[in-house]
Structure 1
Protein backbone atom coordinates (compact mmCIF):
# COMPACT_ATOMS: atom_id res chain seq x y z
CA UNK A 1 0.00 0.00 0.00
CA UNK A 2 1.27 3.48 -0.91
CA UNK A 3 1.71 5.87 2.00
CA UNK A 4 -0.65 8.83 1.98
CA UNK A 5 0.38 12.27 3.28
CA UNK A 6 -2.03 15.15 3.94
CA UNK A 7 -0.66 18.70 4.05
CA UNK A 8 -2.69 21.12 6.18
CA UNK A 9 -1.43 24.64 5.54
CA UNK A 10 -3.50 27.80 4.98
CA UNK A 11 -0.71 29.60 3.12
CA UNK A 12 -0.94 28.17 -0.39
CA UNK A 13 2.64 29.09 -1.34
CA UNK A 14 4.01 27.18 1.65
CA UNK A 15 1.67 24.24 1.03
CA UNK A 16 2.89 24.02 -2.58
CA UNK A 17 6.51 24.26 -1.42
CA UNK A 18 5.99 21.29 0.92
CA UNK A 19 4.16 19.41 -1.83
CA UNK A 20 7.02 20.06 -4.30
CA UNK A 21 9.58 18.86 -1.75
CA UNK A 22 7.66 15.63 -1.13
CA UNK A 23 7.06 14.93 -4.81
CA UNK A 24 10.75 15.50 -5.58
CA UNK A 25 12.09 13.30 -2.79
CA UNK A 26 9.28 10.75 -2.38
CA UNK A 27 7.55 10.28 -5.77
CA UNK A 28 5.82 7.14 -4.51
CA UNK A 29 3.67 9.05 -1.99
CA UNK A 30 0.02 9.98 -2.47
CA UNK A 31 -0.44 13.63 -1.52
CA UNK A 32 -3.37 15.91 -0.75
CA UNK A 33 -3.55 19.54 0.43
CA UNK A 34 -6.13 21.24 2.66
CA UNK A 35 -6.04 24.99 3.28
CA UNK A 36 -9.15 25.36 5.47
CA UNK A 37 -10.68 23.57 8.43
CA UNK A 38 -13.71 22.64 6.34
CA UNK A 39 -11.48 20.97 3.76
CA UNK A 40 -9.73 18.98 6.51
CA UNK A 41 -13.03 17.83 8.01
CA UNK A 42 -14.16 16.62 4.59
CA UNK A 43 -10.92 15.30 3.10
CA UNK A 44 -9.19 13.54 6.01
CA UNK A 45 -11.78 10.78 6.59
CA UNK A 46 -11.92 10.08 2.85
CA UNK A 47 -8.19 10.32 2.08
CA UNK A 48 -7.23 8.35 5.23
CA UNK A 49 -3.66 9.66 5.48
CA UNK A 50 -0.85 7.78 7.20
CA UNK A 51 0.80 11.10 8.06
CA UNK A 52 -0.56 14.64 8.40
CA UNK A 53 1.79 17.63 8.12
CA UNK A 54 -0.14 20.33 9.95
CA UNK A 55 0.57 24.02 10.46
CA UNK A 56 -0.41 25.13 13.97
CA UNK A 57 -1.22 28.75 13.14
CA UNK A 58 -4.35 28.48 11.00
CA UNK A 59 -6.62 31.40 10.15
CA UNK A 60 -9.55 29.58 11.75
CA UNK A 61 -11.56 29.55 14.96
CA UNK A 62 -9.25 26.78 16.22
CA UNK A 63 -5.56 26.14 15.69
CA UNK A 64 -3.89 23.10 14.14
CA UNK A 65 -3.37 21.38 17.49
CA UNK A 66 -7.05 21.41 18.41
CA UNK A 67 -8.01 20.48 14.84
CA UNK A 68 -5.75 17.42 14.90
CA UNK A 69 -7.09 16.48 18.33
CA UNK A 70 -10.64 16.50 16.91
CA UNK A 71 -9.70 14.51 13.80
CA UNK A 72 -7.82 11.87 15.80
CA UNK A 73 -10.96 10.90 17.70
CA UNK A 74 -12.24 8.91 14.73
CA UNK A 75 -9.14 8.59 12.52
CA UNK A 76 -5.78 6.90 12.97
CA UNK A 77 -2.80 8.83 11.61
CA UNK A 78 0.60 10.19 12.62
CA UNK A 79 0.97 13.96 12.82
CA UNK A 80 3.93 16.27 12.26
CA UNK A 81 3.52 19.93 13.23
CA UNK A 82 5.03 22.74 11.16
CA UNK A 83 4.85 26.19 12.73
CA UNK A 84 6.45 29.54 13.44
CA UNK A 85 5.40 29.24 17.09
CA UNK A 86 8.36 28.69 19.40
CA UNK A 87 6.78 29.19 22.84
CA UNK A 88 7.05 26.34 25.34
CA UNK A 89 3.32 26.56 26.03
CA UNK A 90 2.43 25.91 22.38
CA UNK A 91 5.05 23.17 22.11
CA UNK A 92 3.75 21.42 25.23
CA UNK A 93 0.19 21.51 23.84
CA UNK A 94 1.45 19.98 20.62
CA UNK A 95 3.49 17.33 22.44
CA UNK A 96 0.32 16.10 24.18
CA UNK A 97 -0.61 14.56 20.82
CA UNK A 98 2.74 12.73 20.62
CA UNK A 99 3.61 14.20 17.21
CA UNK A 100 6.23 12.66 14.95
CA UNK A 101 8.17 15.91 14.95
CA UNK A 102 7.88 19.68 15.37
CA UNK A 103 9.44 21.70 12.54
CA UNK A 104 10.03 25.42 13.05
CA UNK A 105 9.48 27.87 10.19
CA UNK A 106 10.93 29.36 8.03
CA UNK A 107 11.11 26.19 6.00
CA UNK A 108 13.84 25.10 3.63
CA UNK A 109 14.59 21.83 1.83
CA UNK A 110 17.06 20.55 4.43
CA UNK A 111 14.84 21.37 7.41
CA UNK A 112 11.88 19.67 5.80
CA UNK A 113 13.89 16.60 4.83
CA UNK A 114 15.37 16.21 8.31
CA UNK A 115 11.96 16.57 9.92
CA UNK A 116 9.98 14.32 7.60
CA UNK A 117 12.44 11.57 6.65
CA UNK A 118 12.44 9.69 10.02
CA UNK A 119 8.63 9.61 10.07
CA UNK A 120 8.31 8.27 6.54
CA UNK A 121 10.99 5.63 7.16
CA UNK A 122 9.17 4.44 10.29
CA UNK A 123 5.81 4.29 8.52
CA UNK A 124 7.35 2.41 5.58
CA UNK A 125 8.92 -0.15 7.95
CA UNK A 126 5.60 -0.66 9.71
CA UNK A 127 3.84 -1.14 6.38
CA UNK A 128 6.42 -3.71 5.23
CA UNK A 129 6.20 -5.58 8.53
CA UNK A 130 2.40 -5.69 8.36
CA UNK A 131 2.60 -7.29 4.93
CA UNK A 132 4.92 -9.99 6.26
CA UNK A 133 2.40 -11.01 8.91
CA UNK A 134 0.29 -14.02 8.02
CA UNK A 135 -2.55 -15.05 10.36
CA UNK A 136 -1.55 -18.40 11.91
CA UNK A 137 -4.63 -20.17 10.62
CA UNK A 138 -3.73 -19.33 7.00
CA UNK A 139 -0.31 -20.91 7.44
CA UNK A 140 -2.08 -24.18 8.39
CA UNK A 141 -3.84 -24.45 5.05
CA UNK A 142 -2.53 -26.83 2.40
CA UNK A 143 -1.31 -25.50 -0.99
CA UNK A 144 -4.52 -26.70 -2.64
CA UNK A 145 -6.66 -25.07 0.05
CA UNK A 146 -4.75 -21.81 -0.44
CA UNK A 147 -5.39 -21.98 -4.18
CA UNK A 148 -9.08 -22.43 -3.53
CA UNK A 149 -9.42 -19.47 -1.14
CA UNK A 150 -7.47 -17.24 -3.54
CA UNK A 151 -10.03 -18.04 -6.21
CA UNK A 152 -12.88 -17.58 -3.74
CA UNK A 153 -11.45 -14.10 -3.11
CA UNK A 154 -11.91 -13.46 -6.84
CA UNK A 155 -15.61 -14.37 -6.40
CA UNK A 156 -15.35 -17.56 -8.48
CA UNK A 157 -18.00 -20.23 -8.00
CA UNK A 158 -17.23 -23.84 -7.10
CA UNK A 159 -17.70 -24.86 -10.74
CA UNK A 160 -15.40 -22.09 -11.99
CA UNK A 161 -12.74 -23.00 -9.40
CA UNK A 162 -12.93 -26.63 -10.45
CA UNK A 163 -12.41 -25.69 -14.10
CA UNK A 164 -9.46 -23.43 -13.34
CA UNK A 165 -7.70 -25.97 -11.10
CA UNK A 166 -8.63 -28.96 -13.28
CA UNK A 167 -10.47 -30.59 -10.39
CA UNK A 168 -13.93 -32.02 -10.06
CA UNK A 169 -16.60 -29.81 -8.44
CA UNK A 170 -16.92 -32.51 -5.76
CA UNK A 171 -13.20 -32.14 -4.88
CA UNK A 172 -13.52 -28.36 -4.64
CA UNK A 173 -16.63 -28.65 -2.50
CA UNK A 174 -14.83 -31.11 -0.22
CA UNK A 175 -11.86 -28.74 0.01
CA UNK A 176 -14.17 -25.91 1.01
CA UNK A 177 -15.56 -28.11 3.79
CA UNK A 178 -12.02 -28.81 5.04
CA UNK A 179 -11.17 -25.10 5.01
CA UNK A 180 -14.31 -24.28 6.99
CA UNK A 181 -13.40 -26.87 9.61
CA UNK A 182 -9.88 -25.47 9.95
CA UNK A 183 -11.23 -21.94 10.26
CA UNK A 184 -14.02 -22.99 12.64
CA UNK A 185 -16.63 -21.56 10.28
CA UNK A 186 -20.22 -22.56 9.75
CA UNK A 187 -20.70 -23.91 6.24
CA UNK A 188 -23.78 -21.79 5.65
CA UNK A 189 -24.66 -18.20 4.74
CA UNK A 190 -21.45 -17.67 2.75
CA UNK A 191 -19.36 -17.69 5.92
CA UNK A 192 -16.25 -18.76 4.02
CA UNK A 193 -16.64 -16.01 1.43
CA UNK A 194 -17.09 -13.42 4.18
CA UNK A 195 -13.96 -14.68 5.95
CA UNK A 196 -11.90 -14.60 2.74
CA UNK A 197 -13.01 -11.03 1.98
CA UNK A 198 -12.06 -9.97 5.50
CA UNK A 199 -8.56 -11.49 5.16
CA UNK A 200 -7.93 -10.96 1.46
CA UNK A 201 -4.95 -8.65 2.15
CA UNK A 202 -3.08 -11.72 3.42
CA UNK A 203 -4.27 -14.04 0.67
CA UNK A 204 -1.84 -13.08 -2.07
CA UNK A 205 -0.09 -14.87 -4.85
CA UNK A 206 3.36 -14.84 -3.25
CA UNK A 207 2.33 -16.83 -0.16
Structure 2
Protein backbone atom coordinates (compact mmCIF):
# COMPACT_ATOMS: atom_id res chain seq x y z
CA UNK A 1 0.00 0.00 0.00
CA UNK A 2 1.01 3.62 -0.57
CA UNK A 3 0.91 5.43 2.76
CA UNK A 4 1.14 9.03 3.94
CA UNK A 5 2.09 9.78 7.56
CA UNK A 6 1.43 13.10 9.29
CA UNK A 7 2.58 13.85 12.83
CA UNK A 8 4.03 17.04 14.30
CA UNK A 9 6.47 15.13 16.54
CA UNK A 10 9.57 14.34 14.41
CA UNK A 11 10.58 11.32 16.51
CA UNK A 12 7.13 9.74 16.26
CA UNK A 13 6.95 10.55 12.54
CA UNK A 14 10.29 8.90 11.76
CA UNK A 15 9.59 5.94 14.04
CA UNK A 16 6.22 5.26 12.43
CA UNK A 17 7.76 5.53 8.95
CA UNK A 18 10.53 3.03 9.77
CA UNK A 19 8.06 0.63 11.41
CA UNK A 20 5.69 0.65 8.44
CA UNK A 21 8.47 0.27 5.87
CA UNK A 22 9.83 -2.73 7.79
CA UNK A 23 6.58 -4.51 6.91
CA UNK A 24 7.01 -3.81 3.20
CA UNK A 25 4.60 -0.90 2.79
CA UNK A 26 5.64 2.16 0.79
CA UNK A 27 5.60 5.50 2.60
CA UNK A 28 5.08 8.02 -0.19
CA UNK A 29 4.92 11.19 1.92
CA UNK A 30 5.55 12.41 5.46
CA UNK A 31 4.67 15.81 6.87
CA UNK A 32 4.28 17.63 10.17
CA UNK A 33 1.16 19.76 9.71
CA UNK A 34 -2.39 19.20 8.59
CA UNK A 35 -2.43 21.61 5.66
CA UNK A 36 0.52 19.87 3.99
CA UNK A 37 -1.08 16.49 4.74
CA UNK A 38 -4.36 17.41 3.05
CA UNK A 39 -2.59 18.92 0.03
CA UNK A 40 -0.46 15.79 -0.40
CA UNK A 41 -3.50 13.54 -0.04
CA UNK A 42 -5.31 15.50 -2.76
CA UNK A 43 -2.20 15.48 -4.96
CA UNK A 44 -1.09 11.85 -4.59
CA UNK A 45 -4.21 10.03 -3.30
CA UNK A 46 -2.34 7.52 -1.10
CA UNK A 47 -4.18 4.32 -0.17
CA UNK A 48 -3.93 5.17 3.52
CA UNK A 49 -3.24 8.33 5.54
CA UNK A 50 -1.98 7.73 9.08
CA UNK A 51 -2.70 10.94 10.96
CA UNK A 52 -2.12 12.35 14.40
CA UNK A 53 -5.11 14.30 15.70
CA UNK A 54 -3.32 17.33 17.16
CA UNK A 55 -1.39 19.07 14.38
CA UNK A 56 -0.83 22.68 13.31
CA UNK A 57 -3.07 24.02 10.57
CA UNK A 58 -5.66 21.28 10.28
CA UNK A 59 -6.05 18.51 12.84
CA UNK A 60 -6.57 14.86 11.96
CA UNK A 61 -10.34 15.13 12.38
CA UNK A 62 -10.47 18.15 10.03
CA UNK A 63 -8.60 16.15 7.39
CA UNK A 64 -10.83 13.08 7.83
CA UNK A 65 -13.91 15.29 7.40
CA UNK A 66 -12.53 16.94 4.25
CA UNK A 67 -11.60 13.55 2.76
CA UNK A 68 -15.14 12.34 3.43
CA UNK A 69 -16.72 15.49 1.98
CA UNK A 70 -14.52 15.33 -1.14
CA UNK A 71 -15.20 11.58 -1.56
CA UNK A 72 -11.47 10.86 -1.83
CA UNK A 73 -10.44 7.20 -1.82
CA UNK A 74 -7.72 7.59 0.82
CA UNK A 75 -8.54 5.68 4.00
CA UNK A 76 -7.76 7.44 7.28
CA UNK A 77 -6.13 5.77 10.28
CA UNK A 78 -5.82 7.94 13.39
CA UNK A 79 -2.76 7.26 15.53
CA UNK A 80 -3.31 9.36 18.62
CA UNK A 81 -3.00 9.94 22.35
CA UNK A 82 -6.66 10.99 22.59
CA UNK A 83 -8.86 8.73 24.70
CA UNK A 84 -11.96 10.95 24.93
CA UNK A 85 -15.03 9.10 23.75
CA UNK A 86 -16.51 12.19 22.06
CA UNK A 87 -13.41 12.51 19.86
CA UNK A 88 -13.59 8.83 18.95
CA UNK A 89 -17.28 9.17 18.05
CA UNK A 90 -16.57 12.23 15.92
CA UNK A 91 -13.82 10.31 14.11
CA UNK A 92 -16.28 7.48 13.44
CA UNK A 93 -18.75 9.95 11.94
CA UNK A 94 -16.04 10.97 9.47
CA UNK A 95 -15.62 7.39 8.26
CA UNK A 96 -12.14 6.64 9.56
CA UNK A 97 -10.82 3.11 8.97
CA UNK A 98 -8.62 2.83 12.06
CA UNK A 99 -8.29 4.31 15.53
CA UNK A 100 -5.18 3.33 17.49
CA UNK A 101 -3.73 4.77 20.67
CA UNK A 102 -0.01 5.50 20.31
CA UNK A 103 0.83 3.45 23.38
CA UNK A 104 -0.43 0.30 21.61
CA UNK A 105 0.84 1.11 18.10
CA UNK A 106 3.74 -1.33 18.17
CA UNK A 107 1.42 -4.30 18.56
CA UNK A 108 -1.58 -3.07 16.59
CA UNK A 109 -0.54 -0.85 13.70
CA UNK A 110 0.46 -3.67 11.33
CA UNK A 111 -2.73 -5.63 12.17
CA UNK A 112 -4.71 -2.46 11.46
CA UNK A 113 -3.06 -1.97 8.06
CA UNK A 114 -3.73 -5.61 7.15
CA UNK A 115 -7.42 -5.14 7.94
CA UNK A 116 -7.62 -1.81 6.10
CA UNK A 117 -6.00 -3.40 3.05
CA UNK A 118 -8.86 -5.93 3.05
CA UNK A 119 -11.36 -3.08 3.22
CA UNK A 120 -12.15 -3.68 6.90
CA UNK A 121 -12.16 -1.17 9.73
CA UNK A 122 -9.96 -1.63 12.79
CA UNK A 123 -10.43 -0.26 16.28
CA UNK A 124 -7.84 -0.95 18.97
CA UNK A 125 -8.68 -3.92 21.16
CA UNK A 126 -7.59 -1.78 24.11
CA UNK A 127 -9.84 1.11 23.24
CA UNK A 128 -12.91 0.05 25.21
CA UNK A 129 -10.84 -0.08 28.39
CA UNK A 130 -8.89 3.07 27.65
CA UNK A 131 -11.65 5.42 26.49
CA UNK A 132 -12.39 8.11 29.00
CA UNK A 133 -15.96 9.30 29.22
CA UNK A 134 -15.83 13.06 28.94
CA UNK A 135 -19.54 13.56 29.53
CA UNK A 136 -18.73 16.43 31.85
CA UNK A 137 -21.16 18.25 34.08
CA UNK A 138 -23.41 20.46 31.96
CA UNK A 139 -22.01 23.50 33.78
CA UNK A 140 -18.61 22.79 32.26
CA UNK A 141 -18.88 24.70 29.02
CA UNK A 142 -15.61 23.24 27.74
CA UNK A 143 -17.65 20.32 26.45
CA UNK A 144 -19.23 22.67 23.89
CA UNK A 145 -15.94 23.75 22.33
CA UNK A 146 -14.73 22.31 19.05
CA UNK A 147 -11.29 20.69 18.86
CA UNK A 148 -9.94 23.83 17.15
CA UNK A 149 -11.35 26.03 19.90
CA UNK A 150 -9.82 23.77 22.54
CA UNK A 151 -6.41 24.09 20.87
CA UNK A 152 -6.75 27.87 20.85
CA UNK A 153 -7.82 28.14 24.48
CA UNK A 154 -4.88 25.93 25.50
CA UNK A 155 -2.53 28.35 23.73
CA UNK A 156 -4.29 31.33 25.33
CA UNK A 157 -3.63 29.67 28.72
CA UNK A 158 0.05 29.66 27.74
CA UNK A 159 -0.33 33.44 27.29
CA UNK A 160 0.15 33.34 23.52
CA UNK A 161 -1.15 36.35 21.59
CA UNK A 162 -3.59 36.01 18.70
CA UNK A 163 -0.71 36.70 16.30
CA UNK A 164 1.41 33.93 17.86
CA UNK A 165 -1.52 31.49 17.83
CA UNK A 166 -2.20 32.30 14.18
CA UNK A 167 1.42 31.51 13.30
CA UNK A 168 1.46 28.27 15.31
CA UNK A 169 -1.79 26.97 13.81
CA UNK A 170 -1.30 28.32 10.28
CA UNK A 171 -4.41 30.51 10.56
CA UNK A 172 -5.06 34.17 9.91
CA UNK A 173 -5.10 36.46 12.93
CA UNK A 174 -8.67 37.39 12.03
CA UNK A 175 -9.72 33.72 12.17
CA UNK A 176 -8.15 33.36 15.63
CA UNK A 177 -10.00 36.46 16.82
CA UNK A 178 -13.23 34.94 15.49
CA UNK A 179 -12.54 31.75 17.45
CA UNK A 180 -11.83 33.79 20.59
CA UNK A 181 -15.19 35.50 20.22
CA UNK A 182 -16.95 32.16 19.82
CA UNK A 183 -15.19 30.77 22.89
CA UNK A 184 -16.18 33.78 25.01
CA UNK A 185 -19.78 33.33 23.83
CA UNK A 186 -19.86 29.59 24.57
CA UNK A 187 -18.18 30.01 27.96
CA UNK A 188 -20.57 32.79 28.94
CA UNK A 189 -17.71 35.11 29.86
CA UNK A 190 -17.99 38.84 30.32
CA UNK A 191 -16.83 40.61 27.16
CA UNK A 192 -14.09 42.69 28.72
CA UNK A 193 -10.35 42.93 28.10
CA UNK A 194 -8.38 39.82 29.12
CA UNK A 195 -11.43 37.99 30.53
CA UNK A 196 -10.69 34.94 28.37
CA UNK A 197 -6.98 35.02 29.24
CA UNK A 198 -7.71 35.16 32.98
CA UNK A 199 -10.23 32.32 32.74
CA UNK A 200 -7.89 30.14 30.64
CA UNK A 201 -4.92 30.59 33.01
CA UNK A 202 -7.10 29.58 35.98
CA UNK A 203 -8.92 26.66 34.37
CA UNK A 204 -6.83 25.10 31.58
CA UNK A 205 -4.15 22.63 32.59
CA UNK A 206 -1.06 22.82 30.41
How many residue pairs match? The answer is: 119
Task: Quote how far apart the aligned CAs of 1:30 are.
Answer: 4.4
| Structure 2 counterpart of 1:38, from 12, 35, 38 | 35
Mapped to 1, the partners of 2:75 and 2:37 lie a distance apart of 15
Query: Structure 1 regions of 5+ residues with no counterpart?
Result: 124-207
Match of 1:81 among 72, 78, 81: 78
Show the 5 A alignment for 1:17-32: 17-27=15-25, 29-32=26-29
Q: 1:115 aligns with which of 101, 112, 116?
A: 112
Contact 1:81 1:102 in 2 (8 A): yes
What does residue 91 of structure 1 align with? 88
Corresponding position of 1:67? 63
What is the distance in 2 between the residues matched to 1:81 and 1:50?
14
Q: Contact 1:19–1:31 at 8 Å: present in 2 too?
A: no
> 1:13 matched to which residue of 2?
11
Which stretch has the larger CA shift, 70-79 or 89-98? 70-79
> TM-score, normalising length from structure 2?
0.52
Structure-1 separation of matches of 2:66 and 2:44: 16
In the aligned structure 2, how far is the partner of 1:72 from the partner of 1:37?
15
Aligned alpha-carbon RMSD (Å):
2.0
- Superposition map of 1:172-191 within 5 A: none
In the alignment, structure 2 segments of 5+ residues that lack a partner are: 121-206
What is the CA distance between 1:41 and its match in structure 2?
A: 3.4
